[in-house]
Amino acid sequence: MSEKIDQAQVKKVAMLSRLDLTDSEVAEFTTQLSAILEYVEKMNTLDTENVQPLAHCLPITNCFRDDVVKESLGTEKVLANAPQRDEEFFKVPKILDDNSGA
């Protein structure tokens, strides 16, 4: 079986995914991913000329309710159970610092 993906590509994807793979795992995944890509390539030989594309294999339709305008709860009711608040807003802990780049 000719390899469709090489070990350098597997190492790059592992690095981007922050996975620390051993050399034996890289070799194993290279073989497995090549086999997957080879199998997927077989689909290019299928005649799909008269096959209609579909989004789902079953005839499913969405059941949406009517969009009806209703009265909202109001600020006081919404914030009644808030652990902390700042006037009319929820107060939440800071999760980003100045060095986060966000």
Residue 37 token pair: 């890509």
Cα–Cα dist 102/91, whole Å: 19
Residue 55 token pair: 């989004």
Whether 95 maps to a domain, the answer reads no
List the beta bridge partners of residue 85. Answer: 90
Q: How many domains does the chain have?
A: 1
Whether 81 maps to a domain, the answer reads no
Q: What is the per-residue pLDDT across 42-78, written as a single tens digit (0 to 9) for each? A: 888 989 889 888 888 888 888 888 889 999 999 999 9
Cα–Cα dist 55/97, whole Å: 42
Whether 15 maps to a domain, the answer reads yes
Whether 64 maps to a domain, the answer reads no
What domain range includes position 16?
Answer: 7-45
CATH classification at residue 25: 1.10.20
Whether 82 maps to a domain, the answer reads no
Whether 29 maps to a domain, the answer reads yes
Q: What is the per-residue pLDDT across 88-102, written as a single tens digit (0 to 9) for each? A: 999 988 887 666 665
Whether 57 maps to a domain, the answer reads no
Whether 33 maps to a domain, the answer reads yes
Q: What is the per-residue pLDDT across 9-36, written as a single tens digit (0 to 9) for each? A: 999 999 999 999 999 999 999 999 999 9
- In 19-101 the beta strands, taken as DSSP E runs, fall at 85-86, 89-90
